[in-house]
Amino acid sequence: MFGKRDVIVHGTDPYNAETERAALAAGPITATSAFYVRNHGEVPEAGSAWRLRVDGLVERPLDLSLATLREALPEYEVTATLQCAGNRRAGLIAIRDIPGEAPWGPGATGTATWTGARLADVLKLAGPRAGAAHVGFEGADLSPEAKPPQHFGGSIPLGKAERPEVLLAWAMNGEPLEPVHGAPLRVVVPGYIGARSVKWLNRIEVRAHPWKGYFQDVVYRLLPPEGAPASGAGMPLGLVALNADILSATATEVRGYAFAGGERFVTRVDVSTDGGATWTQAELLDDLGPWAWRHWRAPLDLPPGEHELVVRAWDSSAATQPDDEAGLWNPKGYVNNARPRATLEVPRRS
For binding to a second copy (CB under 8 A), which residues are involved? 222, 224-225, 235, 237-242, 261-264, 267-268, 270, 276, 278-279, 281, 312, 314, 316-324, 327-328, 334-335, 337
> 92 or 168, CB closer to a second copy?
92
Beta-carbon contacts of 230 under 8 Å, excluding residues fewer than 6 positions away, are: 218
Distance in Å, CB of 214 to a second copy, minimum: 19
- Contact (Cβ atoms closer than 8 angstroms) between residue 335 and residue 328: yes
Distance in Å, CB of 242 to a second copy, minimum: 6
Distance in Å, CB of 230 to a second copy, minimum: 15
Distance in Å, CB of 160 to a second copy, minimum: 10
Q: Which of 337, 341, 335 is nearest to 321 (CA)?
A: 337
> 252 or 281, CB closer to a second copy?
281
Distance in Å, CB of 337 to a second copy, minimum: 6
Distance in Å, CB of 85 to a second copy, minimum: 8
Cα–Cα distance, 72 to 69 (Å, whole number): 5
Beta-carbon contacts of 62 under 8 Å, excluding residues fewer than 6 positions away, are: 52, 53, 54, 55, 122, 125, 126
> 146 or 239, CB closer to a second copy?
239
Cα–Cα distance, 234 to 3 (Å, whole number): 37
Cα–Cα distance, 268 to 147 (Å, whole number): 45
- Contact (Cβ atoms closer than 8 angstroms) between residue 314 and residue 320: yes
In the chain the first and final C-alpha atoms are separated, in Å, by 44
> 173 or 336, CB closer to a second copy?
336
Q: Classify the phi-psi angles of 289: left when phi > 0, otherwise alpha if psi is within -120 to 50, otherwise beta.
A: left
> 64 or 85, CB closer to a second copy?
85
> 113 or 320, CB closer to a second copy?
320
- Contact (Cβ atoms closer than 8 angstroms) between residue 8 and residue 107: yes
> 35 or 334, CB closer to a second copy?
334
The amino acid present at 72, given as its one-letter code, is A
Distance in Å, CB of 312 to a second copy, minimum: 8
- Contact (Cβ atoms closer than 8 angstroms) between residue 141 and residue 58: no
